[in-house]
Chains A and B, each alone.
Chain A
Amino acid sequence: MKLLAFERRWLRAIFEAILPSNADDQLSLGVADVPIDRFVDDVLEHAPGQFKAGLRASLWVVALSPLFVIGRFKTFDRLDARARSEVLRCLAQSDIYLVREQPLLFKMVACLGYGGMPAVQRQIGIHPTDSSPPDWAREPERE
C-alpha cells in the first residue's frame, strides 16, 4: 500500500505533533530528525493488510477531525503546533473508544520507529546494544 502525497503530509504532521523536535533540553531529537518516511514505507510494505487499511482510515479521521474537535475548518497539517497538540489531546480523551484509539495508533507507530534509533536512545541515556541504525533507517544503496 502506498500513501498519496497529501496523506503522507498528514501523517508527518501527526507524527511531528506527537514527538516534536527541540521540545526538551535533554531530548532535542524529534521524529522529524529520524528517517521516519523510510520507516513508514517499511511498515506499509510488511504489515498485515488489515492494519494498513486501519491506519489509512485513521489517518483520514485525524486529518479531518479539527472541524469536529476544535471547530476549525482546516486539515490537521494546516494547524499550528499548539492546535495540533490540542486536537490530539481531545481525541485521546474522547469518551468514544474508537476515537481515542486513533492518536494511540499513531503514537504506537511513531514511537516504534523513533524509539528504535540509537541516536534517540543515547539522548535518553540508554546505551544501545547496536550503535548502528536499524536496517529500515539506512540509506537505500544506489544502483
Chain B
Amino acid sequence: MSGELVEFGAVSEPVEDIADVVIIGSGAAGATAGRVLTEAGIDVIIVEEGPHVPTEKLTSDMYTSFKWLWRDMGLQVGQGRAFTPILQGRCVGGTTVINGAIMHRMPKRIFDHWCEERGEGGVLRYEELERIWDQLDLELSVGTAPEDTLGRNNTLMRRGVEGLGLRGNSIRRNVKDCQGSAHCNQGCPTGRKQSMNNTYVPLAIERGARVYATCKAERFIVEGGRARGVVGRFLHPLTHEPGPTLTARARHAVVVAASAIQTPVLLHDNHIGRTSGLVGERLQCHPGAGVVGVFDDPVDMWFGANQGYESTHFWDERMKFESVAMPLEFGAARLPEVGPELMHRLGEYGHLAIWGVQVRARAHGSVRRNLFGRRSIRYDMNDGDIQLLKLGIKRLTEMMFESGAREVLPGVHGLPERISTVDEIEPIFGLTDDPRRFHCIASHMFGTAVMGLGRNNSVVDPRLEAHDLPDLYVTDSSVFPTNMGVNPQHSVCAVSWLAAEGIADRLAGR
C-alpha cells in the first residue's frame, strides 16, 4: 500500500491521522528512521515543516533556493560577540537537500570518548554503527567523484595538500553519477545527490508512510504519561500564513528528528527534559571559515563536485580542511573589494578557488526562547577555538600557495585584504583572539538534548528515549554528547537507524 505526501493548499480542514509511529522532521535522522520503521512493516507518519520541492522545480539561483529550501532564507544566526550564520535546510529531506553530500563515519575515538564520559557503551555499539554505515553506503551510493567530474577547485587542493606532504583524499559522497554541476547547495538539479528527498522519504511513502509537509509540529499528545502523537499546523511555505491543524496520533511512539536547533525548542515548549536543565544547552558546532585563492589559470569553480577533496591530516589538532565551491552569489559577497575593484575581481571569478577549514570547537552555545518568545541561538567560539581557526587559515594559505595561487584573500579583519607570500599570513598570530575578525559559518550542530544514563545529566537515555516521557525518542544530532570533527550526516543517519531498530524490536516484542 502506497502512502502519500500532503501539503498546505491541499488541505482546507483539520486533518486527523493515526499510525504506529509519528516522526517529526524528514532530514537525515527523520527520513532514516522512516526507512527503517517502514521496512519492519510499521505504519509511519512523517511531519515536516518545510515544503516538498521536486527535482524539476529546483532552480540554480541561490536566492530562490534560500526561499524554498533553507531555514529563515539562510538568515538564521547565532549571536555572541560575532554573528555566526547557523545554516540549515527546511524542506522535505531537510538539510540533506542543500548539503555538500559528504559522508564521514564518526571517528572511533569520538565514540569511545562518549562512552567513557557519559556511559553510552553497551547500548550504542560501534560495531553496530559500522554495520549500518556499510548498508547506508550501499543504499545511498557513497563513493568518490570520478576524476573527470572532480573539477579544478578540488584537484588544485589536492595539489596543495600533497605538495606539503599532508594526507588528503577525494571525498566520499552520497551521489550517484555526479554530473559535477556544483549546485549541491541549491538542491541537486539532476537528482544525482542521494539526499533524503530522493531516497528514504519516497521509499517510506512507497511503503505506506504519510508525509505531511509544510506542517509544523507544535505540541506532543501525552496520554497515560506516554507520548501518543503530535499536533501541528499547516503553514504556507513562504508567507507562513497559518492553515488547518494536523492531529497525528501515534499508537506506540513519537520520534523527534527536527535537528539540533529545532528539537530543543520543541522539547522546551513541551516541558521535556526539565530535570536535567540541559535542553537547548551544550550546543556545539564546527565553525568554519573559507580562504580564497587567485590563480593564473582558470579554476572554474562552477564545474565539479561542490566539495570533492579534503584533508583530515590535522584531525588530531581539531581541524579539517575541505574544498568548497561557492556559487557566485555566495562567493561574491565573500570578496573584500567594493566598486570597480570588486567588478574586476568578479571578472576573474573563474580564476578563484575557495577552500575552508572547520574547527572542532570546544565552545558551548545554547538554543532558548528569548523574552519575546522567539528562538534565540547564542554561540561564540572561545579563545582556544579562535587560535585553532588562525592556524587553520594559515595552513589553508600554505596549501593555496603550494598549489600555485598568485594571491590569497584570507578574509580576516586586521590582515591585508590580499597577500602574495606565505610569510604575510604570519601576523594572524599577533591578532587578538576576537571572533569578530573572522567570517565563520556553522552548519553542523550537536548536543542540545544530550544522551546519557541519568536524568540529571542527560535528556534521553542511550536508546534515545526521553527520560521524562516514555515513548518519545530523539534521534537527531541533538543527542550527540559532543561534536566530532567530521561531517555529521552519516553518523546522524546511523544513530537514528539504530534507535529506529530498537523501536521496531520493542514493537515486535509487544
Contact = CB atoms under 8 A, between A and B. Distances in A.
Nearest to B374: A50
A92 B338 contact: yes
Interface string B422-436: 000000000000001
Interface of B: 59-64, 66-67, 72-73, 75, 81-83, 181, 183, 189, 238-239, 298, 300, 302, 327-333, 336, 338-340, 342-344, 346-347, 349-350, 413, 436
Given A27-B347, A124-B350, A136-B64, A48 B75 contact: yes
Contacts of B298: 125
Contacts of B302: 126-127
Contact of B343 (A23, A39, A92, A126): A23
B59 A107 contact: no
A82 B453 CA distance: 64
Contact of B339 (A23, A25, A111): A23
Interface of A: 17-20, 23-27, 30, 39, 42-43, 46-48, 51, 81, 84-85, 88-89, 92, 97, 100-101, 103-104, 107-108, 111-117, 120-121, 124-130, 134-136
Contact of A130 (B61, B333, B338, B349): B61
Contacts of B328: 111, 115-116, 120-121, 124, 126
B64 to A, nearest CB: 5
A26 B298 CA distance: 15
B59 A17 contact: no
A129 B340 contact: no
Contacts of A135: 59, 64
In the A-B complex, list the 7 residue pairs whose CB atoms are closest, starting with the nearest.
Answer: A116-B61, A115-B329, A85-B339, A111-B332, A115-B328, A23-B343, A23-B340
B63 A125 contact: no
Contacts of A48: 72-73, 75
Main secondary structure of the interface of A (DSSP, over half): helix
Given A97-B436, A136-B63, A115 B327 contact: yes
A23 B239 CA distance: 38
A25 B344 CA distance: 8
17 contacts: A17-B338, A18-B338, A20-B339, A85-B340, A89-B339, A97-B82, A107-B338, A111-B330, A112-B329, A115-B62, A117-B61, A124-B328, A125-B298, A126-B302, A126-B349, A128-B60, A136-B63
Contacts of A107: 332-333, 338
Given A100-B413, A129-B60, A130-B59, A88 B343 contact: no
Contacts of B66: 112
A115 B332 CA distance: 8
Contacts of A25: 347
A17 B332 contact: no
Contact of B189 (A85, A129, A136): A129
Contacts of A113: 63
Contacts of A17: 338-339
A116 B62 contact: yes
A118 to B, nearest CB: 8
Contacts of A124: 328, 346-347, 349-350
Contacts of A89: 338-339
A36 to B, nearest CB: 12
A39 B75 contact: no
A104 B439 CA distance: 11
A20 B63 contact: no
A92 B411 CA distance: 12
A89 B350 CA distance: 24
Nearest to A95: B413
A103 B338 contact: yes
A137 to B, nearest CB: 9
A55 B411 CA distance: 23
B329 A116 contact: yes
Contacts of B59: 130, 134-135
Contacts of B300: 125
B371 to A, nearest CB: 14
Interface centre among A114, A126, A128 (most CB of B within 10 A): A126
B350 A134 contact: no
Contacts of B327: 115
Contacts of B64: 116, 134-136
B349 A108 contact: no
A97 B62 CA distance: 27
Contacts of A23: 339-340, 343-344
A81 B336 CA distance: 18
A46 B73 contact: yes
A103 B335 CA distance: 12
A27 B343 contact: yes
A101 B298 CA distance: 31
Contacts of B340: 20, 23-24, 85
B63 A134 contact: yes
A88 B339 contact: yes
Contacts of B60: 128-130
Given A107-B333, A116-B61, A134-B63, A101 B83 contact: yes
Contacts of B350: 124-126
Contact of B333 (A20, A85, A112, A128): A112
Contacts of B343: 19-20, 23-24, 27, 30
Contacts of A117: 61
Given A51-B75, A97-B82, A111-B333, A129 B339 contact: no
A92 B194 CA distance: 40
Contacts of B75: 47-48, 51
A27 B346 contact: yes
A135 B189 CA distance: 16
A101 B436 CA distance: 10
Contacts of B436: 97
Contacts of B332: 107, 111, 114-115
